[in-house]
Amino acid sequence: MAEPRIILTRRSSWLATMAVLLACCIPAQFAAAQPSADAVEAKNPNQADDKLIPLNKQETVLLDVVGKRVLLKTKVVLREGILEMLVCKKQTKEHESILSVDAQAYAIHAGLATLGAEAGSPAVFVPKFVPPKGQRIDIFLQWKDAKGKLQRVPAQQWIRYVTKRFYGQALMRLPHNVVLANESELRYDKKFKELSWYGPMSKEEREKLLSLSQDNAFRVAINTIYKRTLPRPFDTYWVFAGSGFTVDEQTGKQTYNAEHGDVICLANFPTSMIDVAVESSNSGEASLLFEPWVERVPPIGTEVTVELVPVFGKPKEKPAAKD
């Protein structure tokens, strides 16, 4: 697909912008995401601000044609909990999303499409599961730390598989000399012959439990549980699924489905605009796979710039997990 060339000046009209967007095969409903009237032609290509074109009135969705990326101005709204989203629309799903953006979802879709990213399709659940499809989107996060230093990491580094859950390991019997304290996270179920533990297990906790007995089966069970509780980094990527439209049968009005909040998802939804490229359940908290890597996520309210970078060539290797 030929790359669109966009040069905007103060004289750029709404109609001209609409024509550009429609020429890029963007649905007519997205044409409202035109650059503001104050968008100007870049005078100095080395200055990032001169290259950014606002796609909404709030100027929270910015198009970087030269850098071939869409930028979202977001804020941290969640550091602990179970996740369905990386980014949600403001005042929608902040209870299960790390970041929130004050923007219409269609403006983000329009920006990606303008760059030439091809929308695919959200996940299908019946008669059998089909994962979401679409252009791969690499996502990076920028923010200033407590010392004012600019940080930039792949979004994967803020996410890990759920650790705050129960871990079970078969054990025929509990050693006779082992007495489990009531306040301990370790439990033994005599009926099901299973040793269980809730949440992450620290090295100190493991050593304390191992000191309770020299019984080999017990020690193997403790070490197995410990290994399973170690944080597992988010190890997949996102695709431009494209969400879809719902038509009001009475008025004929079309609504972009991602406006309900499903902007950048970590659980598969049929309304997702950007979704993980693997099967990830959204059916109940117990089935959700991911949580924030709390030690890496800055404080609530921190301003974070989210970079959406369509991948047109060979995909890069997955980002290495941060220690």
Sorting pLDDT into bands at 50, 70 and 90, what band is 281?
low
Q: What are phi and psi of 96, to 5 degrees?
A: -145, 30
Kindly state whether residues 171 and 58 are assigned to the same domain.
Answer: no
Token pair 């929608």 in the structure block, residue: 92
Kindly state whether residues 155 and 280 are assigned to the same domain.
Answer: yes
The dihedral over CA atoms of 39, 43, 46, 49, expressed in degrees to the nearest 10, equals -20
Q: Which domain holds residue 129?
A: 14-159+235-310
Task: Quick: pLDDT tens for 234-274.
Answer: 889 999 999 999 888 888 888 999 999 999 999 999 999 99
Kindly state whether residues 111 and 244 are assigned to the same domain.
Answer: yes
Kindly state whether residues 216 and 239 are assigned to the same domain.
Answer: no
The one-letter code for the residue type at 168 is G
The one-letter code for the residue type at 313 is G
Residue 19 has pLDDT above 50, yes or no: no
Query: Could you give the maximum distance between any two Cα atoms of the chain, in Å?
Result: 84
Residue 41 has pLDDT above 60, yes or no: no
Name the token pair of 180: 């489990």
Judge residue 272's burial from the number of C-beta atoms within 10 Å of its C-beta, 0-12 exposed, 13-18 middle, 19 or more buried: buried
Nearest CA among 150, 112, 139 for reference residue 258: 112
Query: Does a structural domain hold residue 3?
Result: no
Residue 20 confidence (pLDDT)? 45
Token pair 């301990």 in the structure block, residue: 184
Q: What are phi and psi of 29, to 5 degrees?
A: -65, -20
Higher pLDDT: 119 or 44? It is 119
Pairing mode, strands 194-198 and 133-134: unpaired
Asked if residues 187 and 166 have their Cβ atoms less than 8 Å apart, the reply is: no
Q: How far apart are alpha carbons 243 and 158 in whole angstroms? A: 24
Instruction: Count how many domains the chain has.
Output: 2
Asked if residues 31 and 109 have their Cβ atoms less than 8 Å apart, the reply is: no
Q: What number of other Cβ atoms are within 10 A of residue 8's Cβ?
A: 21
In angstroms, what CA-CA distances link 89 with 72, 276, 291? 11, 17, 19
In angstroms, what CA-CA distances link 248 with 89, 106, 148, 164? 22, 18, 48, 41
Residue 288 confidence (pLDDT)? 56
Kindly state whether residues 268 and 131 are assigned to the same domain.
Answer: yes
Nearest CA among 304, 319, 238 for reference residue 273: 238
Kindly state whether residues 28 and 110 are assigned to the same domain.
Answer: yes
* Beta pairing partners, 62: 54, 71
DSSP state of 33: -
Asked if residues 108 and 90 have their Cβ atoms less than 8 Å apart, the reply is: no
pTM higher than 0.85 for the full model? no
Kindly state whether residues 149 and 189 are assigned to the same domain.
Answer: no
Arithmetic mean of pLDDT, 215-228: 95
Nearest CA among 164, 165, 155, 157 for reference residue 265: 155
Name the token pair of 159: 């996410």
Kindly state whether residues 178 and 152 are assigned to the same domain.
Answer: no
Kindly state whether residues 145 and 239 are assigned to the same domain.
Answer: yes
Task: Quick: pLDDT tens for 137-195.
Answer: 999 999 999 999 999 999 999 999 988 888 999 999 999 889 998 888 999 999 999 99
Kindly state whether residues 188 and 280 are assigned to the same domain.
Answer: no
Higher pLDDT: 33 or 140? It is 140
Kindly state whether residues 140 and 271 are assigned to the same domain.
Answer: yes
Domain end among 176, 195, 229: 229
Task: Quick: pLDDT tens for 52-100.
Answer: 999 999 999 999 999 999 999 999 999 999 999 999 999 999 999 999 9
Kindly state whether residues 289 and 147 are assigned to the same domain.
Answer: yes
Query: Does a structural domain hold residue 123?
Result: yes
Higher pLDDT: 167 or 23? It is 167
Q: What number of other Cβ atoms are within 10 A of residue 227's Cβ?
A: 11
Nearest CA among 104, 105, 88 for reference residue 96: 88
The one-letter code for the residue type at 162 is V
